[in-house]
Chains A and B, each alone.
Chain A
Amino acid sequence: MNRFLVVRKGQRRFFVRRVLIDVCALWLSASVAALAQSTAPALKANQPFSIRATHVVGLPNTKSNCKGTLSTQDNVLRFQQSGKTIAQVDIASVRDVFLGEEEMQVGGLPMKIGKTAAPYGGGRVVSLFAHKKYDTLTLEFVDSNGGLHGAIFQVTKGQGELVKNELVARGVSSRSGEDQLTKQSTSEVAYDDK
């Protein structure tokens, strides 16, 4: 009987120790993850960088909604797809860079079809959660004739700021207020003097 009690006491102690270790491990991993998020890839000025981006519109000879890599090297901003340069813009020709924030539904066409086919409005519930925010990076640059061009890229949320900082560090001007404009609430505004 006494022997049985000793065994149970030992098991209990072992269980408490194990729980403590588990909690510590969980806390440690959570704090490491939080630290990793807060110290997101910091780019040093004038160092080449490369991020995943989707070209929306504007780059010459590049299709819309084309996924690729946006990188800078030797004062040139390059958009590459599978290692091949599709378009490049001289950073000196970039007049302005703007940063915005948008929201999109994820999953593309298959998800859209699935949501439409779901019974009892289940697709709408899925839509409530199947969205993500992303940054829009808008560049204004001029060509050799002086013609104004604009290019829009979609980048992962948080990375737009890094690209903007990188370009600003290389002498590109950036107007503030874009974020404020794009985050404004849904409202209808109109000219009265029309």
Chain B
Amino acid sequence: MTTSKPNWIFCVAASITIAVAFSGRLAGQTAAVESSAGGGSGTEWSVQVKRIDSGDLGLAHSFQVAIYENLLEELTKTKRFKQVLREGDGKAGELPNLLILKTTVVKYTRGSETQRAVTTVSGATKLTVQSQLITRDGKIVLDRTVQGNVRFFGSNLRATHNLARNIAKVITQSAWPGSERLARNSPVNPDRGRHTSPAS
């Protein structure tokens, strides 16, 4: 009875040691695979944001500029790109892996802050845009339709902030040929139930 107890403890301790050792080894292997995938096949891209194309929708210039500026800010926050450049930036010519973000407004509903405050249910400002990531040679690597709106609180311009955040989120969650995310085989979640047109 007294001799069997130390044996039992020894067995448990040995199995725990083996389990810990194996898990550490597996984790090390995963990290090695990830680092090789990230540093090797994944290309670090930069992005140049083009000015917003509002078409014939009559979107005010303040909205166009707000979307453009908020996009630059949100894309910088994601840290997905090596550099986030503005339209016309001279540095764009020197960068080898450059994507161009083209944003076209496809739908715009002008709301009213007062109407929202009085009725709660009406007066929402809604913006729907088509965002395309295009390579230098004109190949579209990402094409998504994204919405941004302000329904309850906040000024009308807040819709532009929400829209830019949504575009940045979609880009972060997407993958394209040569992107770091695709190289890692990470799961891709295309823009969460919104109507999406696939990349051509």
B173 at the binding interface (Cβ < 8 Å): no
Kindly state whether residue B51 has any CB partner on chain A within 8 Å. Answer: yes
Q: Is B38 an interface residue (CB 8 A)?
A: no
Q: How far is the CA of A156 from the CA of B157 in the complex (A)?
A: 17
Q: Please, which residues of chain A bring their CB within 8 A of the CB of B57?
A: 189-191
Q: Which residues of B contact A145 (CB under 8 A)?
A: 89-91
Q: Of the candidates B51, B62, B70, B119, which one forms a contact with A136 in the assembled complex, judged by CB atoms under 8 Å apart?
A: B62
CB atoms of B112 and A57 under 8 A apart: no
The answer to whether B90 touches A146 (Cβ under 8 A) is yes
Find the B residue at minimum CB distance from A128. Answer: B118
Q: Which of the four size classes fits the interface of chain B?
A: 35 or more
By the criterion CB–CB under 8 Å, are B65 and A150 in contact? yes
In the assembled complex, the Cα of A170 lies from the Cα of B65 at a distance in Å of 22
In this complex, the member of A128, A187, A190 whose beta carbon has the largest number of chain B beta carbons within 10 angstroms is A190
What residues of chain A lie closer than 8 Å to B68, measured between beta carbons?
A: 148, 150
B114 on the interface (CB 8 Å rule)?
Answer: yes
Any chain B CB within 8 A of the CB of A124?
yes
Nearest-CB residue, chain B, relative to A147: B86
Distance from B77 Cβ to chain A, minimum over Cβ atoms (Å): 14
Contact with B along A165-194 (1 / 0, CB 8 A): 000000000010010011011111111001
Give the distance in Å from the alpha carbon of A184 to the alpha carbon of B157 in the complex.
16
Is A191 in contact with B107, judged by CB distance below 8 angstroms?
Answer: yes
Q: Pick the contact of B65 from A115, A142, A143, A152 — CB < 8 Å?
A: A152
B58, B61, B90, B115: the one within 8 Å of A98 (CB)? B61
User: Chain A contacts of B157 at CB under 8 A?
Assistant: 56-57, 102, 152
Give the residue of B51, B91, B106, B119 whose beta carbon is less than 8 angstroms from that of A148: B51
Q: Is B62 in contact with A138, judged by CB distance below 8 angstroms?
A: yes
Interface string of B63-107 (1 = CB under 8 A from A): 011101110000000000000011111110000000000000011
Contacting residue for A146 out of B58, B62, B88, B109, CB 8 A: B88
Choose one: B89, B110, B112, B117; the contact of A187 (CB below 8 Å): B110
B120 to chain A: closest residue by CB: A124
Contact among B61, B85, B86, B114 for A138, CB-based, below 8 A = B61
Q: Are A148 and B86 in contact (CB under 8 A)?
A: yes
Quick one: closest A residue to B61, CB to CB?
Answer: A98
**Which residues of A approach B to under 8 Å, CB–CB?**
56-58, 96, 98, 100, 102-105, 112, 115, 124, 127-128, 131, 136, 138, 140, 142-143, 145-152, 175, 178, 181-182, 184-191, 194
* A103-B113, A131-B117, A178-B62 given; 18 more Cβ-contact pairs under 8 Å: A56-B157, A57-B70, A100-B60, A104-B113, A131-B113, A138-B62, A142-B88, A145-B90, A150-B64, A152-B62, A181-B59, A186-B109, A187-B109, A188-B107, A189-B108, A190-B57, A191-B57, A194-B106
